[in-house]
Copies of this chain bind each other. A is one copy, B any other.
Amino acid sequence: MPMPDLPRPDEDMLQRHLREVRQLLAKQQLVEEVTRRQRMPHQRLVENITHRQNLARLQRKLDRLHPADIAYILETLPLDERLYVWDLVKADKDGDILLEVSDAVRPSLLETMDRDELKTAAEALDADELADLIPDLPTDVAQEVLTALDQREQAQVREAMSYAEGTVGALMDFDLVKVREDVTLEVVARYLRRFDALPDHTDKLFVVDRDERLRGILTLEALLINEPETPVSDVMQASELILFRAEDEARQAAHAFERYDLVSVPVVDKQRRLVARLTVSDVVDYIQEENEAEILSQAGLEEEEDIFAPILRSVKNRWAWLAINLVTAVIASRVINLFEDSIAQLVALAALMPIVAGIGGNAGNQTITMIVRAIAMGQVQPSAWRRLMVKELGVALINGLVWGGVIGVFAGVVYQNLPLGVVMVAAMALNLLLAATAGVLIPLLRQRLGRDPALGSSVMITALTDSGGFFIFLGLATLFLL
């Protein structure tokens, strides 16, 4: 007999949570609306039975939800409903939820909290989590929270805060289990039974000496499959350990997690003393944030946006790239202006020139994206650039002749002007060759100068292929057609 379907906490489940919360909210608004229409004093509203039952149901619903799910619901709700729900959430969950919500939504929640609420929320967090939240708190609240910690935790928070974003230090956590190498697995097992819970993502214990130096790791697997009387030193892994330093790049650490399928990795200092560990859940969050940032910046958005953000905040998030785009567009416009006379003589040039520029931009973006990805994966050796250039120029030449040929025939036929068609083919081929050259050289040059090869790469190549395309096409036309 088939068992009844259990609700599964995947996205359908999450959507169901969201629907329920929204239905309860809608009812609540209805009750308040009715009460207001009847001009009931506020006192009576609060005593209204439907209202209170409804509120209690909403409250119970929220109490049962995982902080990550509440964070999701808060992000999805428009501002007024968001703050209504936020008010109902149990204070002990506040800290976790603040960590889970997106950077874009967090400020709207923090703004509504008073000092005591902020302190309670902060105090529920671990040192590494606190380090993430503190920069968003008012300075005096942050100070009070810090001084309430014990010495060790204070040191940990300060340490975690001292590492820049994008380093292992900014992601690592301090919650881990250490053991000695001269004991047996039986002793380790007895020691673990004294815990109420192990730190999240404990797949290994860290074997350290008296000076906290990392001697090796004891996987839970080794602990479980070996006989209890085995000494730790016999089954711990001590060589070819994967270790990070707090100052290592998070990007490199993420690659290592991906390549070697890791769950947790020790973080050590220069003296090989165990400082903290990095877990796969922090790495997954990091990967997602990085990808998010890459996709947003490609579209010209400075950062993630609260979709219900006030209009002016959105304008601010978008203006920088629009301004850059405006400058490059004006330059392209000035290039066209150089050939005013040519266009006046042959207006077809004005209609055809955006084709040359557009295809060049598209092809250039293909090349630069591929090269930037390959650099990011560490697959482009300095010695390879000649080979890459030859290949990209070959691709550009073929594409230029094929698509340029198609569009050249089109132009020749539509405007009954064969030479115009020939100029079109030549301009397309030359602009694609320009796009390919720039698509290889810009990221390689930026890499050699120690800059991020990705940043603004799409804007730069498009600016070049626009101005370049107009110049090449109008220039050739002026030389050969007029």
A366 to chain B, nearest CB (A): 5
Interface pair A326/B355, CB less than 8 Å apart: yes
Known contacts: A68-B260, A358-B466. The answer to whether A336 contacts B318 by CB under 8 A is no
Binding site for B on A (CB under 8 A): 2-3, 6, 8-12, 14-15, 18, 22, 66, 68-69, 72, 75-76, 78, 100, 189, 192-193, 195-198, 200-203, 213, 220-221, 223-227, 240-245, 248-249, 252-253, 255-261, 263, 270-272, 280-281, 283-285, 287-288, 291-292, 294-296, 298-301, 304-305, 307-309, 311-312, 314-315, 318-319, 321-323, 325-326, 328-330, 332-334, 336-337, 340, 343-344, 347-355, 357-359, 362-363, 365-366, 368-371, 373-374, 377-381, 384, 387-388, 391, 394-395, 398-399, 402-403, 406-407, 410, 458, 466, 470
A281 to chain B, nearest CB (A): 4
A286 to chain B, nearest CB (A): 11
- When the two chains form the complex, which single residue of B201, B373, B403, B458 contacts A261, counting CB atoms closer than 8 Å? B201
- State how many copies of this chain the complex holds: 2
Pick 5 A–B contacts, CB within 8 A, sort by A: A72-B259, A220-B220, A299-B365, A299-B368, A330-B407
- When the two chains form the complex, which single residue of B244, B301, B323, B344 contacts A370, counting CB atoms closer than 8 Å? B301
Looking at A198, A244, A245, A370, the one whose CB has the most chain B CB atoms below 10 A away is A370
Q: In the complex, what residue of chain B is closest to A301 when comparing beta carbons?
A: B366
Interface pair B351/A336, CB less than 8 Å apart: yes
List, in ascending order, chain B residues with CB within 8 A of A245's CB. Answer: 8
A307 to B328, CA, bound (A): 30
Interface pair A76/B379, CB less than 8 Å apart: yes
Task: List 7 tightest A-B contacts by C-beta distance, closest first.
Answer: A299-B369, A261-B281, A350-B350, A68-B259, A11-B252, A311-B394, A336-B351
